[in-house]
Structure 1
Amino acid sequence: MPTDIAASSKGLKLRHYLLIGALMIAAAAAILLWMGRNPICTCGTIKLWVGETNSSDNSQHITDWYTLSHIIHGFLFYGIFWLVARRLPIGQRLLMAIVVEAAWEIFENTDMVINRYREATIALGYTGDSVLNSVSDILFMVLGFFFAARTPLWLTIVLAIFFELLAGWVIRDNLSLNILMLLYPLDAVKTWQGGM
């Protein structure tokens, strides 16, 4: 995949797409607030990093171990939209990625998905994300998207594998396991994950 951030595009400039993207992220935040999600952690503080996954702080602050998954989302969305829509300006592909990521953040915070996480994964006390965490997740997807656009394919793949292995080793969870356990939960995996 060639790097195409500097590629000329017809129509809007990249900064215009970024402004539209920011408005889309703000709209997603407004929808999450309307759904009753907490703006920030109910603890009343904002932390840059939370490393403990089995805590009420997880998915409530700016970054946590699951931030790595959202960066990988950006890698994947860049690759998918490069394959299926490479003739579109990168700004349009970015907006498509933001729509998908924002839709996931909204869907992920529905009672149905929150309950599914509690039933099928090790996230027994999961209550959903704060709006701050959801917005941060979308922004880290954007970071991953631009990283993939600027670097060689092999480096993006190596970094994605590294992130998956690191999270798997440290917290016994990662993007691949998260998808597996949501779609087809395996008792053996759940038992292994619970052995932290």
Structure 2
Amino acid sequence: MLTASPHDRTSDPRFWYGVAAALVVAQVLVLWAMGRIWICDCGYIRLFEPGVNTSGNSQHLADWYTPSHILHGFLFYWLAHLAFRHRSLAFRFALAMLVEVAWEVLENTPMVIEHYRTATMAVGYTGDSILNSVMDSVFMALGFGFAALAPVWLTVVVAVIFEVGVALVIRDNLTLNVVMLIWPIEAIRTWQAAL
């Protein structure tokens, strides 16, 4: 059996947590290079943006899509646990952060922004501020940590509460967002437009 060399940095969890942090720094730099704004054009920062189709949505620390990013953490934890059960939690976390950061960058490309505007309820969506995008990654990390520590049944209950609760309040959630992004359904679009 092969064992890790004492000089093998990848066996140290700090290495993988450092990789995750470096990915977030890369996220900031790439979004900045793409011309994303640092904070809301409004010039201030809110803890929570209550509007859905407002200019402040996806611009502040949290909004109605924050639960979706926490759910990303739940899903990434479970998928990484299934696929990489024998790897360290730190490795799996870095992998989850890679996926989240890649999505955050892709989500803020003109092509995806335009697709959101035409296929989903995000009619006025202009992309995330850098602050909001980084907070999305932070909330994914919190979701990942919660799923790693909490019993599976509790994580499932929280996920259902988030999905149902957000759907009742804003007629959107992670499931609907994915469906409408991949395969828009007119009946869902009509229901969401009635908000």
Q: What TM-score range do you get, normalising by the shorter chain?
A: over 0.9
Q: Gaps spanning 5+ residues in structure 1: where? A: 1-9
Separation (CA, whole Å) in 2 of partners of 1:85 and 1:63: 31
C-alpha distance in structure 1 between counterparts of 2:183 and 2:18, whole Å: 38
Match of 1:3 in 2: none
Residue number in structure 2 paired with 1:4: none
Which residue identity does 2:36 align to in structure 1?
R
Q: Which residue in the other structure is 1:119 paired with?
A: 118
Q: Post-superposition, which runs of at least 4 consecutive aligned residues in structure 1 deviate over 4 A?
A: none
* Distance of 1:95 and 1:63 partners within structure 2: 23
The RMSD of aligned alpha carbons is 1.0
Identity %: 51
The structural deviation recorded for 1:121 is 1.0
Tell me the CA shift for residue 79 of structure 1.
0.1
Shift of 1:19: 2.8
| Residue equivalent to 2:12 | 12
1:68 Cα offset (Å): 0.1
Q: Does 1:66 align with 2:65?
A: yes
CA distances 1:63-86 after superposition (whole Å, capped 9, x unpaired): 001000000000000000000101
Q: Structure 2: which amino acid aligns with 1:182?
A: L
Q: Give 1:157 shift.
A: 0.7
User: By how many angstroms is 1:22 displaced?
Assistant: 1.4
**How far has the Cα of 1:21 moved from its partner?**
1.4
Q: Which amino acid aligns with 2:132?
A: N
Per the TM alignment, residue 16 of structure 1 is displaced from its structure 2 partner at its CA by 4.0
Tell me, yes or no, if structure 1 residue 130 matches structure 2 residue 129.
yes
- Write out per-residue CA displacement over residues 159-188 of structure 1, whole angstroms, 9 at most, x where no aligned residue: 101100010000000000000000110111
Deviation at 1:112, TM superposition (A): 0.6
Q: Which amino acid aligns with 2:50?
A: G
Show the 5 A alignment for 1:40-59: 40-59=39-58
- Counterpart of 1:172 in structure 2 is 171
Kindly provide the CA deviation profile for residues 29-53 of structure 1, in whole angstroms up to 9, marking residues without a partner as x.
1000000111111111111101110
Separation of aligned partners in 2, 1:124 and 1:144:
28
* Amino acid aligned to 1:56: S
Mapping for residues 1-196 of structure 1, pairs under 5 Å: 11-13=11-13, 15-196=14-195
1:79-128 residue CA offsets vs partner (Å, 9 max, x unmatched) = 00000101000000000000000000000000110000111111111000
Partner AA of 2:11 in structure 1 = G
- Greater length-normalized contact order (CA 8 Å, ≥ 6 residues apart): 1
Q: 3-state DSSP class of the match of 2:181?
A: helix
Counterpart AA for 1:47: R
* Residue in structure 1 matched with residue 5 of structure 2 by the alignment: none
Deviations 1:3-62 (A, max 9, x none): xxxxxxx8213x443333112101111000000111111111111101110110000000
